[in-house]
């Protein structure tokens, strides 16, 4: 199966240009970009050495019929038949807090690939709306750049106060989260810790893609399979 990262990159550039030129327009025709080559590139960008999800499938297993598996994933995603499997929730020791654990979620490999593919569609759109001072989980940006900007601002103002706040177990207790300017809303969680992060008032405000949005809704209500690893 041939891969052409440049072709995918060119598609993303066109999406970004459209989003930048028409910031108030709902984008309705993006799903056609997600073809076999797009999924192949998403697979290439997906980490292969991570822990397996609830199905136990590894990258080596998936690559035994990589093209067939990606074709099947593409068909299920576009037809609406894709159903996200439960996330494997593992509790690991929390650094600096003896006796406490931190929950992490481990999706299946195939789910990671599809998440990456959808992210590759949405990222060029929302990159146009992020504030320049935002550095978290953005392409080409990281903590070192954030610290550099903070240092420069402190030097420009000839000093000042820096306040760092860490709210204990915030995501386990907060009833909603609102992030401007995107109007992202996290709905109340249920007893099984199933966060419903993508509501109809979130990314929908810039998108109207029948074959893509149901996938996001699928992820928003997936359950968790919990296990504890505290050794």
Give me the pLDDT at residue 59, please: 96
Sign of CA dihedral 51, 56, 57, 61: positive
| pLDDT for the residue numbered 198 | 35
Q: Give the separation between CA 59 and CA 50, rounded to whole angstroms.
A: 9
For residue 139, pLDDT beyond 70 = yes
* pLDDT for the residue numbered 179: 42
Q: What is the dihedral of CA 48, 11, 216, 200, to 10 degrees?
A: 150
| pLDDT for position 78 | 86
Q: What are phi and psi of 186, to 5 degrees?
A: -105, 120
Q: How confident is the model at residue 127 (pLDDT cuts 50, 70, 90)?
A: confident
Yes or no: say if 226 and 105 are a contact pair by the CB < 8 Å rule: no
Distance (Å, rounded) from C-alpha 131 to C-alpha 181? 9
Contacts by 153-160, CB closer than 8 A, 24 or more apart: none
What's the chain's average pLDDT? 76
196 pLDDT tier (thresholds 50, 70, 90): very low
List the one residue out of 12, 72, 3 whose CA is nearest residue 40.
Answer: 3
pLDDT above 60 (res 24): yes
Q: What is the pLDDT of residue 193?
A: 30
Report whether 41 contacts 120 (CB < 8 A).
yes
17 against 102, higher pLDDT: 17
Torsion (CA) 113, 116, 120, 122 in degrees, nearest 10: 120
Residue with the two structure tokens 């029948």: 210
Listed in order, strand segments (DSSP E) in the chain are 87-93, 101-106, 177-179, 184-186, 224-228
Q: Which residue has the higher pLDDT, 190 or 116?
A: 116
Q: Is the per-residue pLDDT at 34 higher than 70?
A: yes
Task: Give residue 111's pLDDT.
Answer: 93
Tokens at residue 120, please?
């590759």
CA distance readout (Å), 97 to 45, 92, 102, 165, 168? 34, 11, 10, 17, 12
Residue 126 C-alpha from the chain's centroid: 12
Above 70 in pLDDT, residue 204? no
């Amino acid at each position: 199966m041939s891969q052409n990262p440049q072709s995918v990159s060119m598609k993303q550039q066109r999406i970004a240009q459209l989003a930048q030129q028409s910031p108030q327009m709902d984008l309705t025709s993006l799903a056609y970009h997600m073809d076999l080559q797009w999924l192949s590139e998403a697979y290439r960008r997906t980490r292969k050495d991570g822990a397996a999800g609830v199905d136990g499938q590894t990258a080596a297993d998936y690559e035994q019929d990589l093209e067939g598996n990606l074709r099947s994933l593409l068909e299920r995603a576009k037809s609406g038949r894709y159903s996200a499997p439960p996330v494997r929730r593992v509790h690991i020791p929390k650094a600096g807090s003896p006796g406490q654990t931190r929950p992490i979620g481990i999706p299946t490999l195939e789910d990671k690939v599809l998440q990456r593919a959808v992210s590759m569609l949405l990222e060029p759109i929302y990159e146009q709306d992020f504030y320049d001072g935002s550095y978290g989980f953005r392409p080409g940006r990281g903590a070192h750049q954030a610290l550099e900007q903070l240092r420069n601002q402190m030097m420009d103002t000839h000093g000042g106060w820096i306040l760092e706040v860490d709210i204990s177990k915030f995501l386990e207790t907060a009833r909603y989260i609102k992030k401007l300017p995107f109007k992202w809303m996290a709905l109340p969680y249920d007893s099984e810790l199933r966060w419903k992060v993508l509501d109809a008032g979130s990314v929908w405000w810039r998108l109207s893609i029948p074959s893509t949005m149901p996938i996001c809704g699928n992820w928003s209500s997936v359950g968790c399979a919990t296990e504890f690893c505290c050794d």
